[in-house]
């Protein structure tokens, strides 16, 4: 390497950082062939943005700063205008950062436009404004995070009608995969090529502590396979919950006056190899008749503890942190011992034991129906819980171990909504 560098002129050394073929990883280089769409699927931090920016450079730049390239009209489409600007144009791996000084485009903020010294242009578009793509025409396009777009199909269709200039217009799509129809349809087309890489492929440019932390936390989860390994995961057949529905029902705050319930699904045993103890916190709003009741899942604080005292302390802390009105705990396995442990940990808790008389799926189905009716939302993203929910199918849990988090969720919503609803409709039942 030293001999190679010593043999280069000063000009060649100055240019070397901008020769992407020297530094690129295999998944960052466009495949050979007569393709129309190149999809780069990758985990977070896998180098997708750099690959997209460098491909745009390769399309618009010529042999000299003023020489024409293969493309002169480029569409840069992000989820929003702000994100497209922050990531695709001005980001650390964006077009401006990747461009050599003599070929760096000029940013015209008022027109959302990049202009290169050779006259090539790239304009920003937002997936929230698909109508802006009706009319313009392009010979190249870079689409970023297609799988995140809320109006993905509509925006994608408008872009395809405009990608019509030149002898062979092409587009690159850089995205972390999600189970989205427009993405699956694109990947199934004969004119599409794909490269793929997990987050670790780009580890030389990532903080080691980041990789260790996210792998430890998400490595064995469905979310980890999607966000770190870059896998396109299909919904489990017959799943009671779908990720797209959960995404559509998120909130960022909880209405005042909601009653809070902490539900606990304790493990059978208490040691390092035990299943996790499911601990889920739910806020319930019960104003009016039962069909108007709503719930928000506030927190999943499930834990794998070496001793029963460990998970009991976590459950107690959640109870007081959210000022819960009661705690419910399944006692099928532990019986009175579960209550004894909780009372020893915190004698002030308003505790209620619940006992399962039906299987997990049968108990979960009416709770899943509440979600289908749009009556349950999640406060932010509860990754580990949602991973289990989307693997709970009519035939059982399609995952390893026990769905402890889902069990706790089911107990919380059953106690907070389903049981009181039955009592509301039948005054002879004791109101719980």
Give the pLDDT confidence of 41-97 residue by residue, as tens digits: 999 999 999 999 999 999 999 999 999 999 999 999 999 999 999 999 999 999 999
pLDDT reported for residue 256: 83
CB atoms within 10 A of CB 412: 29
pTM of the complete model:
0.61
Binning the chain into helix, strand and coil, the percentages to the nearest 5 are 40, 20, 40
With a cut of 50, list the residues of the chain below it in pLDDT.
431-432
pLDDT reported for residue 224: 78
pLDDT reported for residue 40: 96
Q: Report the first-to-last Cα separation within the chain, whole angstroms.
A: 75
372-392 burial, b at 16+ Cβ within 10 Å, e below that, comes to eeebbbbbeebebbbbbbbbb
- What distance in Å separates the CA atoms of residue 136 and residue 130, rounded to the nearest whole number? 12
Measuring CA to CA, which residue among 94, 87, 81 is closest to residue 124? 81
Q: Sign (positive/negative) of CA torsion 128, 129, 131, 132?
A: negative
CA distances from 89 to 2, 40, 113 (A): 34, 18, 10
Q: What is the DSSP string of 11-72?
A: HHHHHGGG-HHHH--GGGSPPSSS-SEEEEEE-TTSSHHHHHHHHHHHHHB-SSTTSB-S-S
pLDDT reported for residue 276: 85
Angle at 42 between CA 41 and CA 47, to 5 degrees: 115
Q: Residue 101 corresponds to which tokens in the numbers above?
A: 């000084």
* Contact (CB, 8 A) for 193 and 39: yes
pLDDT reported for residue 255: 80
pLDDT reported for residue 257: 84
Measuring CA to CA, which residue among 282, 284, 313 is closest to residue 299? 282
């Amino acid at each position: 390497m030293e001999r190679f560098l010593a043999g280069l002129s000063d000009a060649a050394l100055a240019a070397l950082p901008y020769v992407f073929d020297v530094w690129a990883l295999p998944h960052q280089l466009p495949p050979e062939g007569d393709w129309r769409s190149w999809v780069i699927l990758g985990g977070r931090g896998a180098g997708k943005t750099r690959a997209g920016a460098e491909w745009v450079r390769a399309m618009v730049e010529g042999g000299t700063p003023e020489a024409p390239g293969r493309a002169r009209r480029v569409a840069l489409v992000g989820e929003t205008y702000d994100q497209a600007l922050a990531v695709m144009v001005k980001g650390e791996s964006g077009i401006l950062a990747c461009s050599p000084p003599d070929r760096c485009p000029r940013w015209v903020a008022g027109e959302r436009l990049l202009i290169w010294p050779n006259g090539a242009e790239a304009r920003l578009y937002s997936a929230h404004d698909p109508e802006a793509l009706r009319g313009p025409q392009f010979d190249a396009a870079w689409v970023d995070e297609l799988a995140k777009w809320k109006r993905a199909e509509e925006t994608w269709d408008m872009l395809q009608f405009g990608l019509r200039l030149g002898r062979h217009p092409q587009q690159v799509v850089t995205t972390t995969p999600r189970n989205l129809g427009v993405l699956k349809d694109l990947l199934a087309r004969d004119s599409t090529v794909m490269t793929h890489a997990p987050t670790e492929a780009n580890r030389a440019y990532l903080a080691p502590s980041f990789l260790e932390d996210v792998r430890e936390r998400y490595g064995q989860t469905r979310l980890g396979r999607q966000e770190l390994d870059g896998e396109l995961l299909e919904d489990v057949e017959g799943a009671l919950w779908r990720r797209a529905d959960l995404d559509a029902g998120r909130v960022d705050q909880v209405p005042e006056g909601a009653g809070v319930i902490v539900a606990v699904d304790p493990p059978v045993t208490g040691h390092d190899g035990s299943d996790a103890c499911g601990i889920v916190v739910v806020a319930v709003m019960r104003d009016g008749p039962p069909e108007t009741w709503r719930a928000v899942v506030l927190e999943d604080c499930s834990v794998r503890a070496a001793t029963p005292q460990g998970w009991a302390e976590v459950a107690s802390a959640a109870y007081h942190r959210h000022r819960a009105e009661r705690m419910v705990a399944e006692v099928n396995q532990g019986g009175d011992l579960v209550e004894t442990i909780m009372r020893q940990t915190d004698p002030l808790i308003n505790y209620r034991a619940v006992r399962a008389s039906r299987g997990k799926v049968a108990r979960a189905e009416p709770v899943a129906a509440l979600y289908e009716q749009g009556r349950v939302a999640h406060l932010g993203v509860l990754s580990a819980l949602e991973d289990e929910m989307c693997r709970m199918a009519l035939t059982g849990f399609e995952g390893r171990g026990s769905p402890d988090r889902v069990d706790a969720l089911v107990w919380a919503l059953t106690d907070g909504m389903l049981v009181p609803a039955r009592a509301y409709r039948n005054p002879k039942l004791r109101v719980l």
